[in-house]
Amino acid sequence: MSLRIGQTLRGSRWNYLLVETLSNSTASSAVFKAEIVPRAEHQLPGRWAVIKSSSEDKIIDTLKRENNCYTNPLIRSSRHIRAIYDTIDTHSSGDTTDYYLAFEWMDCTLKDISSKLHRRNLALHKSISIAVLGALADLRNQRLVHTDVKNDNILISGLEGSSPVVKLGDLGLVRTEGFKEYPVQPLAMRAPEVWSGIGCFHSSDVWSFAATLFDWISPSVFGANDMPEGHWPHPWAMAKLLRLFPTSVKMHPSDPNYQGYFRIAQVIEKSGFGDSKDPKCFETLSFSEELAKLDIPSALEDFLRYLLIVDHEQRPSANEALSSAEFQNLH
């Protein structure tokens, strides 16, 4: 069943009147803003909800994985993770199954917010850090990793107030700690140990969080946002990491595709430097040099430097970061 504006979905406690299609909808899934409509004496959690839907099997599997995370009471009760309201599983024509999840409404994502206007807002950075690192710590307690920390999964309400409310969303790609069946995490936020085939750990999520903040402020330093036509995004993003943190990425021990990406990345990273006669591929400098270009408070510089430790075994955990002097200086 294709959802449409004005349609009402029946949930377990409330109904949901679809009022707006949100910009993160795709061809295979749809995301709606919905008004929560009372049906009985149940107290409403708020006026609005977000409805995520799909009739495509692969997306439904992701939604079901996300819903399954919320069956864990410690995750469901986390104040740092966006709340789930309802699961709606219906059958439409033929054998087609439609699957919907209803979530807590948040005003915007970090991606929606201008970094030019807010990059020096230490109160916002502190609220974001408390929420995201708190959520990662809650997942770690269940031996889980988020694997998809990025700016459009960091949800914010009350931006203009003194204490913005921030939560981490989208648990559909959560995996068990140490997952290494295949590389996970967005390319720009992917930790060195994930690129290198060692695995994705709690500390890998911490790296992703710090890289997300950096990428929000300066979107072309990590990843492949500035990649020209004719290149592949994986070796391009890997080459960026090798430039920022030399020797940070190692040859993947078993995946022939990633072994090939690594060889290409080495060529890209060296282009235009030293004895290389190839044209320069990108202008990215070392991490310290790029960090100095950000126009952010020195306390935030120190915090990012503290989090982005190449050795995942030496990188601070979320709880260690929240207890650190570097975090306390974000005021």
pLDDT in tens, 42-58: 788 889 999 998 877 88
Question: What does 53-98 look like in DSSP terms, one character per residue?
Answer: EE-SHHHHHHHHHHHHHTTSHHHHT-TTBPPEEEEEEEE-STT-EE
Residues 6+ apart with CB under 8 A from 252: 195, 196, 197, 258, 259, 262
> What is the number of residues in the chain?
331
Which has more confidence, 276 or 324? 324
The string of pLDDT tens digits covering residues 138-167 is 999 999 999 999 999 999 999 987 789 999
Q: Residue 12: its pLDDT value, please? A: 87
How many Cα neighbours within 13 Å face the side chain of 61? 3
* Residue 236 confidence class, pLDDT cut points 50, 70, 90: very high
Domains of the chain: 7-104 (3.30.200.20), 108-329 (1.10.510.10)
End-to-end CA distance of the chain: 49
Q: Residue 279: its pLDDT value, please? A: 80
Dihedral sign computed on CA atoms, order 54, 55, 58, 61: positive
**Site of tokens 């294709």:** 2
The b/e string for 119-153 (b: 16+ C-beta within 10 A; e otherwise) is bebeebbbbbbbbbbbbbbbbbeeebbbbbbbbbb
What secondary structure letter does DSSP report for 24? T
From residue 116, give the alpha-carbon distance in Å to each of 120, 121, 219, 289: 8, 10, 12, 19
Q: Residue 274: its pLDDT value, please? A: 67
The string of pLDDT tens digits covering residues 86-98 is 998 765 555 556 7
The string of pLDDT tens digits covering residues 298-314 is 999 999 999 999 999 99
Report d(CA 11, CA 248) in Å as an integer. Answer: 48
Q: Residue 92: its pLDDT value, please? A: 55
% of the chain at pLDDT higher than 90? 79
Q: Residue 143: its pLDDT value, please? A: 97
Average pLDDT over residues 180-198: 96
Q: Which residue in 178, 206, 180 sits closest to 191, CA to CA? A: 206
Report d(CA 57, CA 313) in Å as an integer. Answer: 37
- Per DSSP, what are the bridge partners of residue 166? 156
How many Cα neighbours within 13 Å face the side chain of 284? 30
**Site of tokens 């409404």:** 105
For the purposes of burial, counting CB atoms within 10 Å of the CB of 232, is it exposed (0-12), middle (13-18) or buried (19 or more)? middle
pLDDT at 27 over 60: no
3-state secondary structure of 323: coil
Indicate the range of 159-163, 228-232, 290-294 predicted with least confidence: 159-163
pLDDT, averaged across the chain: 92
Q: Residue 25: its pLDDT value, please? A: 54
- Which one-letter amino acid corresponds to residue 256? P
The string of pLDDT tens digits covering residues 9-23 is 999 889 999 999 987
Q: Residue 160: its pLDDT value, please? A: 84
Taking a C-beta distance cutoff of 8 angstroms, is the pair 177, 140 a contact? yes
Taking a C-beta distance cutoff of 8 angstroms, is the pair 31, 24 a contact? yes
